[in-house]
Structure 1
Amino acid sequence: MAGNLLGPADFQLVLLRRMADHQPGLVEDARISMGVSLTEMREVNRRWQAMVRSPRARDAVQRYRSVLGPPEAVVRRKVGDLECEALLWPVPLWPTLRLEVLTGPDKITWNEWLVRAPGEPGPALRTADDLVPWSATVDEVARAFGPVRMLDGAAPTRARLAVTLPGGAGRVAEFTWGLFQGLAPADGQGPLP
């Protein structure tokens, strides 16, 4: 861990900290594989939160550049009639994913989440059994299990997607930082067994 400055390895711990609410076992395994103690993980998260909430906080793009360095790619995109910019950074813990920060024409950040890296194949998603935690992104689940409806998340880094499984069963797919965490009943009252 880098003194007072946060770096790419630290940022992965920030991602993991939020995912611990849904997948504590996977998070614990990842933290141990990184050689980081629970205390170190909490400290990194505390420093990240202080940076985000500081009265002198940088905008999201500046914050990610300061922590992750220059983006691996900057891609122009059209969303409806608007020209957007997607900045992509690698996340070594998930080598086939990228952190995407999407900004509008006014350079205001619209979204920050994990997406599949360009050229990387996504998972084959045909049934609920194919939805394995940490295997798919919001876009991949939305394409596989439509029609879908975006629901309010419990926190800024959380997303919920009402999906329709084969056979017509409705469920809620839970995401943290854009990465699939689990399925909940359509009423959203907790994870499925």
Structure 2
Amino acid sequence: MNPTADNDPPTDAGAPTGPGARADLPGPVAFQCVLLRRMADHHPDRVEDALRALGVTRAQMREANRRWQATMHTPRGRGVQPYRALLGAPESRTTRRIGDLTCTVLTWPVPLWPDLRFEVLTDERRGTVWNAWLVRAPGAAAPELRTAPDLAPWCCTVDEVARAFAPARPLEGSAPTRWRLACTAPGPDGTPEKLVAEFTWGLYQRRVD
């Protein structure tokens, strides 16, 4: 399964409804709507604020996500082309060694989160995407994560939580665009707490323990 394909409720899979549902959006705006669609499951108020900042309706968000899911379930949805189609040329292109494998790392800015970048790890020779999520932008200050209460929605990424509360154990997420980490962090009084952190598109959403 493609790591960024997801399933939506029937209301998104069927014909779009509501004012502005069929309006085309600029590619980067449409992609941010795709990111927000899954985050709305846990933080609808935050997503409403983000949609207002983008000048987008909920119907447009759902339609952008419907189109994305349709693309990701076609043969061309297995590679990096869907990301390029919406986001344009990447801001950076580097290589990264992971074990015995070398992958291409592409990143794009995300205006809703200026301190983050959307990162895609791809094997361009085989036309496959290994991973796609939000990461901290180079040079941007990361949040100080010392205790469990420091985990606030949308404040940190998978890598940041894994480093702050090492050792962290990855768990299967509840959807292809979700990740979970099991770790131990000091509670408010300093007593260690076992917790499971859930992320959507690599961005922290909530505790599920």
Which deviations, in whole Å up to 9, do the C-alpha atoms of 1:61-81 show, x marking residues without a partner? 111111110100011111122
The equivalent of 2:6 in structure 1 is: none
Give the alignment partner of residue 102 of structure 2, picking from 80, 83, 107: 83
Which SS does the other structure have where 2:69 is aligned? helix
Q: Aligned pair count?
A: 184
The equivalent of 2:162 in structure 1 is: 142
1:24-173 mapped onto 2 (5 Å cutoff): 24-54=44-74, 56-104=75-123, 106-166=126-186, 167-173=191-197
The answer to which structure, 1 or 2, has the higher relative contact order (CA under 8 A, 6+ apart) is 2
Q: Work out the CA distance in 2 between the residues paired with 1:58 and 1:129.
A: 38
Please state how far the C-alpha of 1:48 moved relative to its aligned partner.
1.2
Give the alignment partner of residue 201 of structure 2, picking from 165, 177, 185: 177
Which deviations, in whole Å up to 9, do the C-alpha atoms of 1:11-34 show, x marking residues without a partner? 001100010112111111111222
Which SS does the other structure have where 1:169 is aligned? strand
The equivalent of 1:189 in structure 2 is: none
> Structure 1: which 5+ runs fail to align?
186-193
Percent identical among aligned pairs is: 58
Whether contact under 8 Å (1:153, 1:159) holds in the other structure is: yes
Structure 1 runs (4+) greater than 6 angstroms displaced: none
Using structure 1 for the length normalisation, give the TM-score.
0.88
> Structure 2: which 5+ runs fail to align?
1-19
Using structure 2 for the length normalisation, give the TM-score.
0.82
* RMSD of aligned Cα (Å): 1.8
Whether contact under 8 Å (1:6, 1:44) holds in the other structure is: no
Q: Work out the CA distance in 1 between the residues paired with 2:160 and 2:205.
A: 13
Moved more, 122-131 or 106-115: 106-115
Which deviations, in whole Å up to 9, do the C-alpha atoms of 1:61-109 show, x marking residues without a partner? 1111111101000111111222121100111101111110012474521
